[in-house]
Amino acid sequence: MGEKNMAGGLRLERVTQKIVKVEAQGPGAATLFFESAIDVRPGQFLMVTDYEGGERPISVSWADGELLAITVKNMGPFSGRLCAKKPGDFLSLRGPFGTPFTPVPGHALLVGGGCGIAPLHLLARELVSRGGAVTVVNGARVSADLILGGWFRGLGLDYRETSEDAGERLTSVALAERILSKEKIACVYAAGPELMMDALRKILKNLPYQFSFERYMKCGVGICGSCACDPTGIRICVEGPVLCREQVEKLTDFGVYKRDATGARIHFRRQPAT
């Protein structure tokens, strides 16, 4: 089934897909698989709805030409409904949308936080297929929230995971800093909480980097302006969600605030220094 329309010269298509497999990701997340040949680049996202209320942008964690998957963490009513879906249930998808990651030759460091690690799996697969050296840092506040570890280990790359409640109790940024002090890294790619990426940016000195942003979106195609960043007007749904260093460094709202459905500024809550 499909619904087609035109918006600003862009042809949109909604496709209703049956869930063919559900893979639990710890106690609060799930990966939903569809039989789909949608061509998705690493870092792009889909606009997803179950027609029970709302539509949300969700990154693609798996796409091989036969199967496509999204990984969702239960954060509220909408994501909770998605995490409760079973094989045979249906979701409606639009996309893919957005600017993907751009692979850079040389040793790549991928840094993910929580469910933000999901779009980095598709990127890791592409980088490995190109024959490049890849190191992945998968971090979470608690070890139970570490997801997709088996997927990354299966790629045969250098995989590290860390949580703040076990082992050395390192943040993903602290572990990335340790790796950067020992390895010659060509580019850093990151996805996850904005405060994590802001902290990561501050230790990268002159290294090239690409960050995948999460901001409130309504349309997904750059019409409504809900996800525009200050002061450049960059739209996360079009020019993003992946932004390069040159774009990020021009933003005044990065790591400071985002906007809600009304357009009001919502300032990020920083953890007190310890």
Q: How confident is the model at residue 115 (pLDDT cuts 50, 70, 90)?
A: confident
pLDDT given for residue 11 in this prediction? 41
CA 267 to CA 259: how far, in whole Å?
A: 8
pLDDT given for residue 111 in this prediction? 98
pLDDT given for residue 6 in this prediction? 36
User: Mean pLDDT across the chain, nearest whole number?
Assistant: 90
pTM, rounded to two decimals: 0.92
pLDDT given for residue 14 in this prediction? 85
pLDDT given for residue 28 in this prediction? 87
Calculate what percentage of the chain has a pLDDT beyond 70: 94
Q: How confident is the model at residue 238 (pLDDT cuts 50, 70, 90)?
A: very high
Measuring CA to CA, how many Å separate 84 from each of 151, 206, 218, 236? 22, 44, 23, 28
User: What 8-state DSSP symbol labels residue 117?
Assistant: G
Q: What is the mean pLDDT of residues 102-113?
A: 96
CA 102 to CA 42: how far, in whole Å?
A: 9
Q: What is the mean pLDDT of residues 8-14?
A: 55
Q: How confident is the model at residue 222 (pLDDT cuts 50, 70, 90)?
A: confident
CA 43 to CA 121: how far, in whole Å?
A: 9
pLDDT given for residue 217 in this prediction? 87
Q: How confident is the model at residue 274 (pLDDT cuts 50, 70, 90)?
A: very low
Tell me which residue has tokens 């010269």: 9
Q: Using one digit for the tens of pLDDT, what is the confidence trace for 148-199?
A: 999 999 999 999 999 989 888 999 999 999 999 999 999 999 999 999 999 9
Q: Within a 10 A sphere around the Cβ of 9, how many other Cβ atoms?
A: 5
Domains, the chain, ordered by start? 2-97 (2.40.30.10), 108-267 (3.40.50.80)
> Is the pLDDT reported for residue 4 higher than 80?
no
Q: Using one digit for the tens of pLDDT, what is the confidence trace for 22-53?
A: 999 988 899 999 999 889 999 999 999 999 98
Task: Name which residue leads in pLDDT, 230 or 135.
Answer: 135
- Residue ranges of alpha helices (H) inside the chain are 77-83, 118-129, 149-153, 172-182, 194-201, 245-248
pLDDT given for residue 268 in this prediction? 87
pLDDT given for residue 270 in this prediction? 63
pLDDT given for residue 271 in this prediction? 54
The two three-digit tokens of residue 56, written as one number: 């949300």
pLDDT given for residue 10 in this prediction? 44
